[in-house]
Amino acid sequence: MKLLVIGSGGREHALVWKLAHSPHATRLWCAPGNAGIQQERCAGSGRSVECVPIGAEDLDALLRFALEHRPDLTIVGPDNPLALGIVDLFQNHHLRIWGPNQRAAQFESSKAFSQNFMAVHGVPTARSGVFTDPHAAKRFAASLDGRCAVKADGLALGKGVLLAQSLPEAEAAIEEIMLKRSFGKAGEQIVIQEMLEGIEVSLHALCDGHVARLFPTSQDHKRALDGDLGPNTGGMGTFSPVPFLSEDELLEAARGILEPWQRGCRAEGIDFRGILYPGVMLTAAGPKVLEFNARFGDPETQVYMTRLENDLVELLDACVSGTLKDIELRWSPQTAVCVVMASGGYPGPYQKGLPISGLDGVTALPNVKVFHAGTALHQGSVVTNGGRVLGVTAWGDTLAQAQETAYAAVDLIEFEGAQFRRDIGAKALGYRSPLS
Ligand code: AMP
Ligand code: GLY
């Protein structure tokens, strides 16, 4: 099969790497890809993966490429092309594509849509309200004593969420989003949620419009610095599975979320084919959904792809065909850890084009894969080209082993100003279940 993957981050490298393992993959393009993606090869045909210099949001150029090269399946990584309707566009041209259509992608592209959907269909979530009027928003924030999350409705590169601990902070956040329009049009409408306390986990469920197949749990580390300090980022590291939920608890939590979600989709005629990624807070009152994403998590995908034992081409193809019921997911029992190495200054401004050394040394280590995110090739050498640069991913029989291997690899890699957390998975290592 000829495959086209859209995107250029660590998530897309992990997807390409796993797709390239499949004997079904004879030719693989990635638009626009990165330096690591370009070094992969299709196991079936021996052919190198080809990066195509088309941006993930340039829908016209992507369509032209697909009409010319006729991939048998296109796989969409990031949220933006989904929100722009790439799936509908390709389908209208009879091109097979994996990912939710524009209507279904609203679970991520509109927090107001998601929050209203959860309220109507009984998906457990925080106490919340949706507002277009800042005065009404402030009154609701006051009813929560100001302890709340204030969220811009539309996509805002993961930055449109402000957390407030007091009423003045909440009012300032509402003004920032609705009046100053710090996140542009995304702030025309906002969602306010009560502040939830607990442990955050990432759930993922592959959906084919009928059935949902649940992934194991993972946890991201969203803050830039050790100890969950510093600003929010796209994600600085993950591990999977997490010890915070037993298998039974995971199934119960997922049932409580996915069953009403699926009923709601059926009732509203939403055909969700792709992956649903609910961000969930495990609270004393049970699991509650903070947000829905309509794509794979980044860097969750990096740990998932190293643990997944199924053929990814077959899985994604079954999603599009609506035949996921015939497939059971199989996972390695090992734990995987991904440590993100970012550019100095990220998530603020950072320099690009800095040479990266030590990558060859890491290829000699067992149980490690370095997924590239913001990298490019410059005169044959790998250089930095984005905020999150590499996702150093390792696996082992225990979390401690996987963590040790990941950091041994990180210590071999150097670029000027490299910034990463030293504590990915640390809280889980010290965690004792209240039930044990
Ligand atoms: P979101 O993009 O909606 O997941 O929000 C980004 C981050 O803000 C989440 O990963 C949480 O860490 C935090 N957050 C969002 N909503 C809440 C909430 N209601 N209570 C506590 N923390 C939240
Ligand atoms: N893991 C964060 C995200 O993908 O949004």
pLDDT at res. 157: 67
pLDDT at res. 399: 97
Structure tokens at 169: 């902070």
Encode pLDDT of 42-52 as tens digits.
998 999 999 99
| 9 close to ligand 2 (CB < 6 Angstrom) | no
| 344 close to ligand 2 (CB < 6 Angstrom) | no
| 40 close to ligand 2 (CB < 6 Angstrom) | no
Burial of 206 (0-12, 13-18, 19+ CB in 10 A): buried
Q: Which ligand is nearest to the CA of 295?
A: 2
Return the closest-CA partner of residue 388 out of 240, 236, 228: 236
| 158 close to ligand 2 (CB < 6 Angstrom) | yes
Give dist(CA 14, CA 103) in Å, integer. Answer: 27
pLDDT at res. 433: 66
Is the peptide bond preceding residue 333 cis, with omega within 30 degrees of 0? Answer: no
| 295 close to ligand 1 (CB < 6 Angstrom) | no
| 10 close to ligand 2 (CB < 6 Angstrom) | no
Cβ contacts of 390 within 8 Å, gap of 6 or more: 10, 340, 341, 356, 370, 371, 372, 373, 375, 413
Q: Whose CA is nearest to atom 5 of ligand 2?
A: 297
pLDDT at res. 434: 61
Return the closest-CA partner of residue 10 out of 33, 28, 31, 39: 33
| 83 close to ligand 1 (CB < 6 Angstrom) | no
| 291 close to ligand 1 (CB < 6 Angstrom) | yes
| DSSP string covering 116-130 | HHHHHHT--B-SEEE
Residue-level pLDDT, tens digit, the chain, 436 residues: 999 999 999 999 999 999 999 999 999 999 999 999 999 999 989 999 999 999 999 999 999 999 999 999 999 999 999 999 999 999 999 999 999 999 999 999 999 999 999 999 999 999 999 999 999 999 999 999 999 999 999 887 667 899 999 999 999 999 999 999 888 888 889 999 999 999 999 999 999 999 999 999 999 999 999 999 998 899 999 999 999 999 999 999 999 999 999 999 999 999 999 999 999 999 999 999 999 999 999 999 999 999 999 999 999 999 999 999 999 999 999 999 999 999 999 999 999 999 999 999 999 999 999 999 999 999 999 999 999 999 999 999 999 999 999 999 999 999 999 999 999 999 999 876 665 5
pLDDT at res. 159: 73
| 297 close to ligand 2 (CB < 6 Angstrom) | yes
Encode pLDDT of 222-254 as tens digits.
999 999 999 889 999 999 999 999 999 999 999
Ligand 2 centroid – CA 301 distance (Å)? 9
| 358 close to ligand 1 (CB < 6 Angstrom) | no
| 293 close to ligand 2 (CB < 6 Angstrom) | yes
Q: Is the pTM of this model over 0.85?
A: yes
| 220 close to ligand 2 (CB < 6 Angstrom) | yes
Q: Which ligand is nearest to the CA of 191?
A: 1
- Measured distance between the N- and C-terminal CA atoms of the chain, rounded to whole angstroms: 48
Q: Which atom of ligand 1 is nearest to the CA of 193?
A: 19
Q: Whose CA is nearest to atom 6 of ligand 1?
A: 161
Crossing angle for the helix pair 134-143 and 167-174, nearest 10 degrees? 160
Q: Which ligand is nearest to the CA of 288?
A: 1
- Confirm if 314 and 150 have CB atoms less than 8 A apart: no
| 126 close to ligand 1 (CB < 6 Angstrom) | yes
Ligand 2 centroid – CA 234 distance (Å)? 6
What type of residue is 342? A
Pocket perturbation via mutation, ligand 1, pick of 110, 123, 161 by most ligand atoms within 8 A of CB: 161
Q: Which atom of ligand 2 is nearest to the CA of 220?
A: 1
Ligand 1 centroid – CA 161 distance (Å)? 7
Tokens 């004792």 correspond to 432
Per-residue burial over 25-56, b if 16 or more Cβ lie within 10 Å, else e, is bebbbbbbbbbbbbbbebebeeeebebbebeb
DSSP state of 218: B
Ligand 1 centroid – CA 61 distance (Å)? 35
